[in-house]
Structure 1
Amino acid sequence: MDAEHLKRLEGREAEYIPDILNEFNKKHADLLVFDSFHSDNQWHELWLAIFGILDDAQLGHLHTQCLNTVRILTRDEFSLQTNYIEHEVSQLLRLARVEASSLKLPATPDELKQQEEGQLQLQEQPSLAQSDIIAEALKCLCNLVYQSADCRRQCLRQHCLDAILKRVASSMRHPCALEYYDMKLLFFAHSSGASGSQPSPNRSQRSHLHDQSGWMTSWPSPAAAREQLIIICELAQSDV
């Protein structure tokens, strides 16, 4: 990305951002080698510029596009390991609505379900645009948890799994794409922790995850069955 475009992103010049990000996202959609981004600190500067936009609620209409850019950047394992990104990971947890601020912890799975039932009247079904933002943020977190041990530890410390399990157990209906990336993030966090070198989900989380194992096989309608069958076929894919 040239210096002028980066400056416009840093300045949050809303009229230019869509075209700049659209060009970047198309050009680098399949990028896996980031050597050219390591000179002049370009990766980190772009990373901070994008998260500056994501931190601006007035630019919410650009957040899905920004998260697509973040998803591309999270493929760069070297930059994830060499830059301090804890604040940005927390932002992604918030955008994915899997931060634990709304949970009363520690709690058993049954207690989490009671919390969900008690708050259900206060919650609103996410709009389609909001669900897109949640799903895109989850994609980024999947990459981060897969690529970085530090990110895995941070997500576990911040009770990300508890928040996901609460959403999975919720009676509220969510788009299948969102449910898919919830399950994918659970899988990555659980399988990474199971190696023994990383913090692993606690007993109540493992038990609750087992209780939710019927999620993909409880198909309420042929249309939902088709949608979820596609998800099952995609679960084996690790690249997001």
Structure 2
Amino acid sequence: MEGVDAVVGVLQGGDQAEICQHLQSFNTQHAQTFGFPNLQQDKRKDLVSAILEVLNKDMQPSCHATCLSTIRILSRDKASLQFLAKPPCVTTLLKHAGMDGAEAVLELPEDEVIAEAEKCLCNIIFTSPTAQRLCSSNGCVEGVAGRLKCISDPHLSYDVKIFAVRLTFLLTALCIDIRQRLQVEFNIPALLLSAMEHTLGVENNSTLGTLEGAVLTDEQVDLLSEILKTMFNVTLTGQARQLDEEELERYKHMTAVCRYMLMCRASSEAKQEELHSHTINLMTNMPRNCLGEVIVQQGERGVGTEYDGWNMDAIMTILDFLERRIDQNKRLLETLTPVLTCLIAISRANRNVRKFLRTKVLPPLRDVETLPQEGPKLRNKCVRLMTCVVTEVKEAAAEFLFVLCKENVDRLVKYTGFGNAAGLLAHRGLLAGGPCSGQHNYSSGDEESDTEEYLVAKDKINPVTGRVEPDRPNPLEEMTEEQKEHLFMQLASDFDKLTREGIVKPTMIGSDGRLHVVEGGVAEMMARAQTPPPDNSDNEEEDDNE
């Protein structure tokens, strides 16, 4: 590639002014370049080596910043990584980022240098497993932890803060050993929580209990998003292990901070959606006994959404977020699974939240002539998700509605129809009805009273479709007996052919509540159906508690 030899020559023998001039020209020319296919490998090596020599000399910060900008551009090119991901380069970048030790000192004039070095490290570590392994033993972990401790420093620039957190996110996402070291040796959840509080301006705990959040700038939202993503990585094991008292209090406080962020407003809907998305993702990692912090006492002001003395604004924010994501109908696995998982966990953790969500999602049934999956209401939208082609979304939506029904099969079928609920019931072994064998306990009170419309139509509702079927003419009325017999014989022949070819298989609900193929075909199935079940009444006890 033309011009590289000249740049290398200036780097090796020119003064600072010449170096800056040539590199700035190179950087401007390739500002939007993401690959250098015409650059020979030996030229790449010479260019990287020459830049590193300049970076290791005592020069003006502006010259170092320009050199680092060139490294950043080269780091986009995968072919250059074999030179950039080596110890000399990574060590030099850590030095200029102030991350080559836990006690790194930051000077205000070098903020541009620090930020550029962090950007280079982000690019290289994101793409290179070699660089990821290097960072586990070259002081990077100590440097990252030291930088996070300085997030509250008012003299630290925004760019330095956000790229430091982004680098931490990459390290914790890509390197399990680094994530574990940051957790065990440096208590990174506490550092990130402190950074989150400082960014929100809620170091005073009393602020978290307020019913209204702050108005956040775009920079605050972007920094919080990076912190939330990193916090998600380092709290992945929070639900799976036993927490000590200090950790439990931290998780509770973290949930309270999440509630406050759900109340905050951003400069645009897109920024607010981004903040809420990352907040909800983090809440899916919170232990169940911490999720009660997502609601606060309503107090005397009477502001916002209240239910049974509790402020439900944060829950409404999550519910509105769910409905918007359903309406967007894009990337369903990534957009819907986290928010549904979050709502399931909160509903199981807090009785008041579950009862409130039920009033919003499954209010007392009045419309008994429309299919449960048809209509604009949130109940209709959630029922439609129960037959979604994305398995994870289908299962999460069904689980959410099942929890709102206190995992009662009859109640779920009432609101969704057996056809929509069949997938969940088959998976849980509940096709035959009966109590759920899960570990979740619900209060015994019957929270609903049937509407007059439902009681009038109850006996006419088709349990499979979940509605009162419209009157339809009998297609057999106009047929003669010979025509009926011919039709029945044709249907029997077609069904027999489908069975013999294995396209359909006769099944029955077994004692475990799941479908089982009947090997003997239809005749065997009919014989089993006529056999009365054994009398186990002496060994069964009914539990009326829901």
Q: If the TM-score is normalised by the length of the shorter chain, which range does it land in?
A: 0.7 to 0.9
Which residues in structure 2 correspond to 1:48-197 (within 5 Å)? 48-81=49-82, 85-100=86-101, 102=103, 126-127=107-108, 129-170=109-150, 172-173=153-154, 174-194=156-176
Question: Which of 204, 219, 227 is the aligned partner of 1:227?
Answer: 219
Distance change (3 Å), C-alpha of 1:11 and 1:200: same
Residues 1:209 and 2:188 aligned together: yes
- Following the alignment from structure 1 to structure 2, what is the Cα–Cα distance between the partners of residues 229 and 84? 31
Instruction: Name the SS for the 1:42 alignment partner.
Output: helix
Instruction: Name the SS for the 2:179 alignment partner.
Output: coil
What amino acid does structure 2 have at the position aligned with 1:172? D
**TM-score for the superposition, normalised by structure 1:** 0.76
1:21 to partner: Cα distance: 1.0
Which is worse superposed, 84-93 or 24-33?
84-93
1:78 to partner: Cα distance: 2.2
- Following the alignment from structure 2 to structure 1, what is the Cα–Cα distance between the partners of residues 83 and 12? 21
1:156 to partner: Cα distance: 1.5
Distance change (3 Å), C-alpha of 1:155 and 1:230: same
8 Å contact from structure 2 (residues 145, 182) kept in 1: no
8 Å contact from structure 1 (residues 32, 76) kept in 2: yes
8 Å contact from structure 1 (residues 162, 205) kept in 2: no
- Following the alignment from structure 1 to structure 2, what is the Cα–Cα distance between the partners of residues 25 and 184? 23
What amino acid does structure 1 have at the position aligned with 2:201? P
Distance change (3 Å), C-alpha of 1:16 and 1:223: farther
Which of the pair has more CA radius of gyration? Answer: 2
Distance change (3 Å), C-alpha of 1:10 and 1:59: farther
- Following the alignment from structure 1 to structure 2, what is the Cα–Cα distance between the partners of residues 80 and 212? 31
- Following the alignment from structure 1 to structure 2, what is the Cα–Cα distance between the partners of residues 213 and 82? 33
1:150 to partner: Cα distance: 1.1
Deviation readout 1:110-159 (Å, 9 max, x if unpaired): xxxxxxxxxxxxx6x621x3111111100000111111111111111123
Deviation readout 1:60-99 (Å, 9 max, x if unpaired): 3301111100101111222213677311110111110111
Instruction: Name the SS for the 1:98 alignment partner.
Output: coil
Instruction: Name the SS for the 2:76 alignment partner.
Output: coil
Corresponding residue number in structure 2 for 1:106: none
Distance change (3 Å), C-alpha of 1:4 and 1:89: same
RMSD: 2.8
Q: Which runs of 5+ in 1 are unaligned?
A: 104-122
1:161 to partner: Cα distance: 2.1
Instruction: Name the SS for the 1:58 alignment partner.
Output: coil
What amino acid does structure 1 have at the position aligned with 2:49? L
Q: Which runs of 5+ in 2 are unaligned?
A: 203-213, 230-546
Identity fraction in percent: 25
Corresponding residue number in structure 2 for 1:114: none
- Following the alignment from structure 2 to structure 1, what is the Cα–Cα distance between the partners of residues 183 and 226? 24
1:27 to partner: Cα distance: 1.0
What amino acid does structure 2 have at the position aligned with 1:209? I
Corresponding residue number in structure 1 for 2:38: 36
8 Å contact from structure 1 (residues 67, 133) kept in 2: yes
More helix by share: 1
8 Å contact from structure 1 (residues 53, 63) kept in 2: yes
1:102 to partner: Cα distance: 4.3
Matched pairs, number = 210
8 Å contact from structure 2 (residues 119, 163) kept in 1: yes
8 Å contact from structure 1 (residues 161, 205) kept in 2: no
What amino acid does structure 2 have at the position aligned with 1:24? F
1:160 to partner: Cα distance: 1.1
Which is worse superposed, 12-21 or 69-78?
12-21
Corresponding residue number in structure 2 for 1:107: none
What amino acid does structure 2 have at the position aligned with 1:126? E
8 Å contact from structure 1 (residues 139, 181) kept in 2: yes
1:49 to partner: Cα distance: 1.1
- Following the alignment from structure 2 to structure 1, what is the Cα–Cα distance between the partners of residues 129 and 19? 32
- Following the alignment from structure 2 to structure 1, what is the Cα–Cα distance between the partners of residues 137 and 79? 23
**TM-score for the superposition, normalised by structure 2:** 0.35
What amino acid does structure 1 have at the position aligned with 2:179? P
1:208 to partner: Cα distance: 2.0
Which is worse superposed, 181-190 or 209-218?
209-218
Distance change (3 Å), C-alpha of 1:223 and 1:203: same
8 Å contact from structure 2 (residues 85, 124) kept in 1: no
8 Å contact from structure 2 (residues 51, 67) kept in 1: yes
